[in-house]
Amino acid sequence: MSEPTPELFMQRIVDLGLANQLDVEKARRDVAAGDDSLDSLSRAMQRHGLLTTLQTEKILRGDRIGYFYGPYKVLYLIGAGTFARVYRSEKLGDLKTKDAETTGKDVFAVKVLRKRFRDEAAQLEQFLREGAMGLKLRHPNIVSVYDVEPDTYHPYMAMEFVEGQTLRELMHLRATLPAKTALKIMHDIASGLAHAASQGISHRDMKLSNVLVSSQGVAKLVDFGLAALADRNNPDKIADCPNARAIDYAALERGTNVRKDDPRSDIYFAGVMLYQMLCGQPPMPDTRDRLKRLNVTRFQTIEPIHRIKEDIPAPAIHVVNRAMELDPQARYQSAAEMQADIKKSMARLEAGPMQRVLDDGKIILEYPDDDDDPASEGEGLVVLLVESKIELQNAIRQRLKNRGYRVLVIADPARALERFDPLDDPIADCVVFSAAELGRSALDAFNRFGADEHTADVASILLVDRRQTSLIQDAHTAPHRRMLPLPLKVRELRAGLAKLLAKTPRRQIR
């Protein structure tokens, strides 16, 4: 299509409602005398604020639509995805945003479904679902939706405009984020998820591109298009989300035997995002192969984050590991719980590490823990500690008692095995064998405990130093029989116990 003449260009500006005739003529007078080129004229219109680059390009193409969506005037393209485009837009009216204070106009992000999907019922339904979810949610860490137009010819939604970038774009620029920054962003994300959960809404599409980070560093969730709104009158009925983007959620939930809209799935994929923020790579390789994405082994073969990047602080690693527990019972049980734990981890990180001298004189750095704070996570559970070193006995016993566990202590591994009578119920729900001083005798007892018929199903843990390579090689482990490294971090022991005993019935202990 040939370019319009300068006169026709000016007339189109007026006809399209982008500016009035008087302002257009005033802007034209800004063009140098004798210069009647279209380029000079369009640049003058932009200098006077009558046109944007996007509007200019559309006029030159001969486009007659797409300048307005309802009362919203399109200014710039700020985002484009497979299904929709997002424009920075303005609206004159009573509702004022913070950004409007400097422009004198309301500034919004207007999301428009692409034309080719408007005739597809499933895509239109998903788009309108996103708008409906957004209208229900008002929270500092969720991008607000103010207006939704369900017209099938021109569907759009007007949202809060966030000056910033997506978390995905931020990661492209930074590669990795400092632990304090990553935890702050994840705290915001968990806060938004917790609010959505309080409304019966789960996100169902947690990924870096669905988090906006404002210029002030505030993270906000966006795109609830795959959200499942639970039917509170019928807990077995859940909203359908027929979209390939939900494959990762489906694989996780099928592999862990939980219902489709389990809110802990959002927590797992929030942990995936934190993993990538901290070490610069996703825990699972990206693939478009549907069968590979549905294979639960993707979640079972994830490399521990501390092996990817060794200098990540322990408080941040703790949050990643807890959020990404494959066993849903060992994972954070709600976004609110995750948010609270992140807050504690941020405080530990802010306090900084402390030096601890090991028996061999080696100095290590550890962060202050909250293990001395009373809690009831182990209430109704009994742990038998097999350890000969008095000071270690006392330290572990006290820390676990503070968490609600009943703790029995025996110094002799052989005697510990004798306490389990084949004719009686097990005296403990988990036995912790420490090889710190007991060495191979602890290993032999650990292996025999797993081999004897009357104790084979009882959970057990072997504490072993990484330098005790022969013991590690000879240990017989299983899903309910694990090894933990020495020097011992009580937080890791608690996490191991929580995972092993997640489904263990609680005892009535007097």
Q: Which residues are annotated as a binding site for ATP?
A: 111
Amino acid at 110: V
Nearest to 109 by CA among 223, 216, 10, 17: 223
DSSP 8-state symbol, 452: S
Q: Indicate the pairing of strand 459-465 with strand 481-486.
A: parallel
Q: How far apart are the first and last CA of the chain?
A: 87
Q: One-letter amino acid identity for 296?
A: V
Q: How far apart are CA 20 and CA 78, in angstroms?
A: 26
* Other C-beta atoms lying within 10 Å of the C-beta of residue 292: 14
Compute how many other C-beta atoms are within 10 angstroms of the C-beta atom of residue 329: 14
Report yes or no: 219 and 183 within 8 Å, Cβ to Cβ. no
The helix (H) or strand (E) run that includes residue 51 is: none
**Binding positions:** 111
* 429 and 504 Cβ atoms separated by less than 8 Å: yes
Comparing CA positions, the residue from 129, 106, 127 lying closest to residue 118 is 127
Question: ω before 487 within 30° of 0 (cis)?
Answer: yes
Distances (CA, A) of 310 to 2, 40, 161, 316, 485: 60, 57, 38, 12, 16
